[in-house]
A and B are shown apart, each in its own frame.
Chain A
Amino acid sequence: MNHPTREDLVAHLYSELPPERQTELTAHLGQCAECQKLVTEWRGTMAELDTWKLPAPQPKRERAPGNVAFAPFLKWAVAACLAIGFGFLGGRLSVPAPDAAALRAALAPELQKISAAVDAKLAEDRQAVTDILKTMQSQRTEDYASLRRAVETLAVNTEDSLETAQRQIVQLASFTEPTKP
């Protein structure tokens, strides 16, 4: 049997022969166990080659210049916030819930005392304010009376002065010059 060259067989495997030659080799491989064995081995190797896949290239990220310095800081800040948050939460959760009724009972007398004291203080303040207001009222009344007296005195004095002036005018009008001897 006239075997094709191995170069032809490899070209056949990659479909690089002219169509009629491809057909010829396909027919030959159907009849020739030796060539078929070789081609089968090569096909197996080609299938093995296909198992090595490459990762897709990572796109290079365009970062703003400011972000270069900021990103690590931001990362640490977020980490710190999380740590503090979790710590706070853990602390809150680990402490047993207080007994509200007992706490209220214990605090009630104190609260009543404080409330009474506050009320007393408020009453004192209110009394003080009332006293001050009364004092101011009486002072105002006195001031008013004093002012009134002063105005009345002024009015009387003014009236007296007017009468004196009137008399003097009458006297002046009736004055006659004495005749010369």
Chain B
Amino acid sequence: MSFFSPAPVATDEQAMWRVQSHDDPEAFAAIMHRWQGPIRNLCLRMTADLHRAEDLTQETFSRLHARRREWQPTAKLSTYLWRIAINLCHDENRRRTRHGEVPLETGEDGEHAPHITVFQPTPHDELEAGERADQVRAALQRVTEPFRTVLVLRHYEGLKFREIADVLGVPEGTVKSRMVEGLSQLTRLLQPALNDSPPTASAAPTAVAWQPRPQTKAHL
């Protein structure tokens, strides 16, 4: 511990500055205390897997500490932290997709993918037909990842479009476009469950470029 007792840390940036310049463990603990919940929630929304979310949360803070020298004191810590967590979630989801743990989504760019996986109630889902939350969770995991990221950050984590643009390093207009696509995809995915009827091509309200994936490929 340094000679000067640490002053009560007022902001995330002050705490991070202490971590960066003094390797202050108490300041880092304060950051973790504040941000562990939101980061865990983000990871859980992005992966829909509690254990993975816990691991990713730990990994996020490990990476934050490892890269503390790279943080610019003029930048918001939250932006830096969200970005680390989002990148880790992307890596994790990509790894799971490669290993066939989750259905394939769209093309590499995510913007002009030809197909999306339309939500079909599985036997497991049918057992929990009353659980709307399960259906939403399953549907959200099938939304293409760049759109899902914006959906989660805006809707669940309450970030403004401007802040999301800073986290993702894209223009605010792009963020809004992704939000539009995310909502459109999710509306289409949830519609069969909402109407309690099998999806049809006419069920797609706006996203005419998207076509239902054949059932045989839905669970690759």
Contacts and interface: CB of A to CB of B under 8 A. Distances in A.
A16 B187 contact: no
A53 interface: yes
A49 interface: yes
B187 A52 contact: no
A85 interface: no
Contacts of A7: 173, 176-177, 179-180
A57 B183 contact: no
A51 interface: yes
B133 A10 contact: no
Interface string A39-67: 00110111011011110010000000000
B179 A48 contact: no
A66 B183 CA distance: 53
Interface in B141-163: 151, 154-156, 160-161
B136 A52 contact: yes
Contact of B133 (A41, A45, A53, A57): A53
B209 to A, nearest CB: 14
Interface string B171-191: 001001101100100110010
Contacts of A121: none
Contacts of A44: 187, 194
Interface residues of A, number: 20
Contacts of A45: 183, 186-187, 190
A57 B44 CA distance: 11
Contacts of A140: none
Given A10-B179, A16-B160, A54 B41 contact: yes
Interface string B187-220: 1001000100000000001100000000000000
28 contacts: A7-B177, A9-B180, A10-B176, A10-B179, A11-B161, A11-B176, A14-B154, A14-B161, A16-B161, A42-B183, A44-B187, A45-B183, A46-B155, A46-B183, A48-B132, A48-B135, A48-B190, A49-B156, A52-B45, A52-B133, A52-B137, A53-B133, A54-B41, A54-B44, A54-B45, A57-B36, A57-B37, A57-B40
